[in-house]
Amino acid sequence: MHVLINEVKLTKVILFIIDIFIIVISYLASKYFLYETFILSTLDITRLINTIVLSIILYEFFLNLFEVYKNITIYESAKEYFSYALVCMVSCNVVFLIGIIFNLEILSPKENILAGIFTAIMMIFYRVVIRFMVTNKITIKPECERKNLLIIGGGEAGTEVIKNIKSSLITNYNIVGIIDDNIKKNHCKINGVKILGTRNDIVKICKERKIDIIFFAISNIDTKNKKDILAICQETGIKLRILPGIQDFITDKNIMQNLRDVEIEDILGREPIVLDNVNIKELIKNNTILVTGAGGSIGSELCRQISKYEPSKIILLDIYENNLYDIELELKANYANIEICPIVGSVRDKNKLKSIFEKYNPYLVFHAAAHKHVPLMEASPLEAIKNNIFGTYNIIDCCDEYNVKRCVLISTDKAVNPTNIMGASKRMCEMIIQAKDKVSKTEFVAVRFGNVLGSNGSVVPLFKKQIAKGGPITVTHKDITRFFMTIPEAVGLVLQATTYAKGGEIFVLDMGEPVKIYDLAVSLIKLSGLQPEVDIPIKITGLRPGEKLYEEILMSEEGLRSTAHSKIFIAKPSKINMKDIEKKIEILEKMVKDENMKLADIKDNMKKIVPTYKEVKNKECDK
């Protein structure tokens, strides 16, 4: 550290000495330029010496006043160079004014101004030369030590990326060229880097120029074009990094920090969802909100988005303390004006729930706590019943008893014609919600959607871990498909659906087109700069117990009606009543008390309780 400080001080001293030398030379040059002679009278010599001494004092005073010696020479730009010119013009005029005020023998205004111009030119010139020499010294390193980089985008973002690489990352990257779809820019240069072609040339250029990495540097682009360009880049099998959208775009030195790996969300190219924020805020602002399963993927995102609408208090309930602690810290850091109340507890514990409702009296309840892993629940079906069904039953009883305005159940597409215990348990939760709504002042609703990208247990994090280990990626079936939505997208629609609720609805979210899991695996491998079945093998393991090839969003007997939002629909209400539910609950209570009940008997009972449950028997995946 001391060595570095000493080097910086030495550099400043050297620049200080050079600048003094330049001031002297500039005045001599101005004299010669105007009179074409160095033969001076005694008076001229006196005036010259007086002016030079005064100039050195004033120039250095203003140079330090403008803090130019704090600049790092190799990073200086037009802004800093303008400062040098301004200092010189101010200084030369002040020299002349002081000469007049104090009646000093100094050079004429013409000589002073010309010397100021010479000083400015030379000060800027030698600093540019230093910058060029240092940069040039770096760039002459062998290209084999750097990665060949192709930049997608010749606009503002791409320009900033080039500037940042040339100023500080030139040892890491050799910028081969730029891709831009504006054909008018073809073969032009940006900061010395040539535009090589359009998106149609990406694959050919990557092959011919031996590109090692691609930077997607377009911050303002529509979803379709972004998806199409990324799909082309994906075909190259080259590592790809991307800038975020325009709303997250930070210019200048921070831009390189914004570059991130391409996520599967970028490739899927879903259009941004627009929410009616006013209605959501009216529902949430200044109210107490309870979120169960608050530490989970959906629960934690619910907490984040709810916090934006200024509730007075958020009650975070979760059985897993680590996740609960994480979301508590995050919310307290970002929303100091909201009271955050983390509570470790289970929805199975009715007495615990009653104490929470009695103490906090929540206005809205979002019930996201659930066991959701299909294979695990196939092996432990009673746990799914205890947690999902009885946990929901406890929540709705408390909501009813303590006059909660609205309770929202987070459901799943696996509740539609369920083929596994987890899906059947969630369908039973939907039935409980709809039945209770008919006899309660509380408005009970459910929101049903499919898989969310990046959630705990989702295939995307699993695939990433498998790729990091060198494979293989495991896919249960080559034709298996799933609906996908981003976590923020799903939660945003949950909040929007909540504003439409009148009670008893099952809201169904439009998940878009189903995605083949095999194709998802291939995309993730390619996005990592690797080749499927070459670098990373894909292993087909066979469908797991309770797993089906295609998920459904609507039950066959249900119809849809639209809402004010194009992505939200309402399923046809069921005719089930609370008496029927209570009979089913009695059967379930007997089941959970009998820990020795056979798996087949549990499933047979669940088929009676949830008539749409049709078991499928698949071979368990290889261990």
Long-range contacts of 510-513, Cβ-Cβ distance < 8 Å, separation of 24 or more: 510/566, 510/567, 510/568, 510/569, 511/413, 511/449, 511/450, 511/483, 511/484, 511/485, 511/553, 512/268, 512/270, 512/483, 512/484, 512/485
Entry field: residues in the chain = 623
From the candidates 31, 414, 436, 464, give the one annotated as an active-site residue: 414
Two tokens at 493?
């629609």
Two tokens at 223?
């979803």
Question: Quick check: 367 and 294 in contact, CB under 8 A?
Answer: no
Exposed / middle / buried, residue 74 (Cβ in 10 Å: 0-12, 13-18, 19+): middle
Check if 414 is active-site.
yes
- Strand ranges, E, within 368-433: 406-412
Q: Are strands 443-449 and 288-292 parallel, antiparallel or unpaired?
A: unpaired
Question: Quick check: 396 and 345 in contact, CB under 8 A?
Answer: no
| Residue from 189, 191, 202, 150 nearest 173 by CA | 150
How far is 148 from 4, CA to CA, in rounded Å?
Answer: 32
The residues that bridge with 484 in the sheet, in sequence order, are 451
Two tokens at 218?
């377009």
3-state helix, strand, coil in the chain (%, to 5): 55, 15, 30
How far is 9 from 4, CA to CA, in rounded Å?
Answer: 9
Q: Which residue has the tokens 């030590």?
A: 145
How far is 204 from 233, CA to CA, in rounded Å?
Answer: 11
The DSSP H or E segment spanning 45 is: helix 42-65
Question: Quick check: 51 and 23 in contact, CB under 8 A?
Answer: no
| DSSP three-state, residue 146 | coil
Question: Quick check: 442 and 403 in contact, CB under 8 A?
Answer: yes
Catalytic residues: 414
